Structure 1
Amino acid sequence: MSSGRRRFEVDDHESYARPARRTRPRTKQRPRYDDATTGVVVTIDRGRYTCRVAGSPPDDGRNTDQASDERTVIAMRARPLGRKSVVVGDRVKLVGDVSGQPGTLARIVEIEERATVLRRTADDDDPVERVIVANADQLVIVTALADPPPRPRLIDRCLVAAYDANLDPLLCLTKSDLASADDLLETYRPLGVPSVVTRHDEELAPVLHDRLAGRVSVLVGHSGVGKSTLVNALVPDARRAIGEVSEVTGRGRHTSTQAVLLALPFGGWIVDTPGIRSFGLAHVDPNRLIEAFPDLDEVTKDCPRGCTHARSEPECALDEAVADGRLDPARVESYRRLLDSRERHTGD
């Protein structure tokens, strides 16, 4: 090729390079997406976001009507979003091809304000927060009563995360055909955490449907507790893989690899999440935990400045309220157990 010949032909796409930064017009006006389609992110896989469009859950998750044009749209994240993460449950604005036809790809250009955010860290020393799901209103802590045995400290940490995210907790105890639920239920009775008990050899109790109907619920639990079995019973066409518990370690094997938002046939939504081995709480301010217990929070107004309400505090008003009979000692002890769980470095 001679030095005087152009490197690219006129129709060569490489000839249309991005203009140099100095040639781009300066403006503070951001593009408007008034005609964008609104959808909800139902799952994420390798940079592709599966969104449910038309008939997606509204702000409160209580509209169960399925629109006639409901469809699934695959999208990518637009560059202007920068490092802003998109998570399951996000309500987003989509542009481009939102037909949902095979081979089409839309773009996520905006993320609507989140009502709630459930997050965790890998460890209590890890400063990096990992958002699990957005816009849920209930956290369902799934725990097996046997095979594998329950891990109360992990339950405690999940409760702390629920209270911090302003989610209503629900304790779901599975495999009651293998062990009694009485002891574990008594442990959490002082906290007033609602619970549901299920068996492998029976259909799901109607009370579980009642607790989930009309809500956006996140299911969390370590592998092998029967979470996928629950999901398949609640949403028959979900076809979530079911794992077994290792006889060597006593722990379950991971079967779910991505969080997924599923519509319940009787109304409402559930988010099935991968099994967890720990639940870091580095993002939780211990001073905020007391706000989830209005009766205790009211008493602590009489605490001296800087009181952490821990057992080691010499002049905590919680102790005075227990001594004069205003507070149930079991409830205060249960709250302090949750407070202690924030300081542990393991979810076991």
Structure 2
Amino acid sequence: MNRRYSEHDPEHYDRPNRRGSRPRTKERPTYADAVPGVIVTVDRGRFTVMVAGRLIWAVKARPLGRKGVVVGDRVRLEGDVSGVDGSLARIVEVEERTTVLRRTADDDDPYERVIVANATQLVVVTALADPEPRHGLIDRALVAAYDAGLSPLLCLTKADLADPEILLSTYRALGVPWVVTHGVNQPGGGDLSELRERLEGQSSVLLGHSGVGKSTLVNALVPDARREVGHVNAVTGRGRHTSTSALMLRLPDAGDDLTRGWIIDTPGIRSFGLAHVEPEHLIEAFPDLDEMTEDCPRGCTHGADEPECGLDEAVERGDADPERVMSFRRLLDARSVSSY
């Protein structure tokens, strides 16, 4: 027996790194005593995990190999889960993910990067001014949300600087829900009751460009978060990155459910590749339009330049809202338009 591990350690059952070797035992560990937790942040191979209302630190057990573990993953742990200084547990299992929000570095990059697992809602945080809204990122975020099976929500900040109707008119045909925040930067934090209602019972990813007020929202929603707040460069109109890693935070009064009542703050992004999204998968997020494409020619992408597309025929018959079809096709185009 390897002296480094007892017979109760998962590592004891590893296959030696010798070609042709056999497993040391046919009996695999059951992890009967493993405790459940959820990954709240990742930092250079170390994981912070919420277990029974307390934060503990963990590393991956060797049997997991190269298996990725990301924020939002529900895991099972063995070892020291006391959370005291110097303690360290082992992640021995990663439960099956219900949803995966991913992106690529750019549209030509085949390598997918998982942003967060097991979320239920994607909150696209957009400033109405300072910096100006960037429709490219909003469209791409919506595509990623639909592809991942997440419910999208537009959260519009800095409503004191511009009329939200100008932006909302672009997305109303898609049926995307929205909420406008007021006075978050003012003393008292403004009224966030509508946003809190939208977040209740959800595991929500907050995504947006730097400088849109995402960290300010997080600090108002979770006062103990203390996320650093940045400012917009007066020359470039771009914000400074303040969040450097994704962080999952429990909303106040969320209860004991490990899967609900969370927000995930993500670093401000400047690119959101969609190389992994297929057109046929995107249209499935719009059941009314999907039904109208049943007789499309094989290989039809449902774009505006496709001959004999069922969407065009539905518009001609009056069965489809032209504005909704146009908005859907704008999302299709967002997969290949890189100016965002």
TM-score (norm 2): 0.90
d(CA) in 2 for partners of 1:308, 1:228: 38
Hey, what does 1:320 align to over in structure 2?
Answer: 313
Shift, 1:275, TM fit: 0.4
Are positions 1:208 and 2:195 aligned together? yes
Determine which structure has more spread, i.e. the larger CA radius of gyration: 1
Q: Could you tell me how far 1:29 is from its partner in structure 2?
A: 4.0
CA distance in structure 2 between the partners assigned to 1:128 and 1:20 by the alignment = 28
Counterpart in 1 of 2:11?
none
**Letter matched to residue 310 of structure 1:** G
Write out per-residue CA displacement over residues 258-306 of structure 1, whole angstroms, 9 at most, x where no aligned residue. Answer: 1111111143110000000011001111211000001000111121222
* Deviation by residue 1:298-331 (Cα, 9 ceiling, x = unmatched): 1111212221111001201111111121111000
Task: Evaluate the alpha carbon distance shift between residue 216 and residue 23 of structure 1 in structure 2; reply closer, same or farther with a 3 A threshold.
Answer: closer
Distance 1:28 1:309, change over 3 A: farther
Residue 337 of structure 1: aligned partner:
330
Deviations 1:138-161 (A, max 9, x none): 000000011110000110000000
Superposition RMSD in Å: 1.8
Alpha-carbon separation, structure 1, partners of 2:63 and 2:338 = 37
Structure 2 regions of 5+ residues with no counterpart? 5-13, 255-260
Matched, 1:99 2:92: no
Q: Which residue of 2 aligns with 1:176?
A: 159
1:30-45, aligned counterparts within 5 Å?
Answer: 30-45=28-43
- The answer as to whether partners of 1:52 and 1:72 remain within 8 angstroms in 2 is yes
In 1, Cα distance between the equivalents of 2:21 and 2:320?
Answer: 69
1:169 CA displacement:
0.0
Deviation at 1:30, TM superposition (A): 2.9
**Alignment pair present for 1:256 and 2:243:** yes
SS of 1:110's partner is strand
Whole-angstrom CA distance in 1 between matches of 2:288 and 2:85: 55
> Could you tell me whether the CA contact under 8 Å between 1:286 and 1:342 is conserved in 2?
no
Please tell me whether residue 291 in structure 1 is matched to residue 289 in structure 2.
Answer: no
Q: In the alignment, is residue 143 of structure 1 matched against residue 129 of structure 2?
A: no
- How far apart in 1 are the matches of 2:196 and 2:283? 30
CA-CA distance at 1:345 after TM superposition = 3.1
Which letter maps to 2:288?
D
- Partner residue in 1 for 2:105: 122
Aligned CA distance change for structure 1 residues 123 and 29 (closer, same or farther; 3 Å): farther
1:275 partner amino acid = G
Deviation at 1:204, TM superposition (A): 3.0
Listed as ranges, the gaps of 5+ residues in structure 1 are: 1-11, 55-69
Q: Cα–Cα, structure 1 residues 161 and 28, in superposed 2: closer, same or farther, change >3 Å?
A: farther
Taking only the aligned residue pairs, the percentage that are identical comes to 70
Helix, strand or coil: the match of 2:153? strand
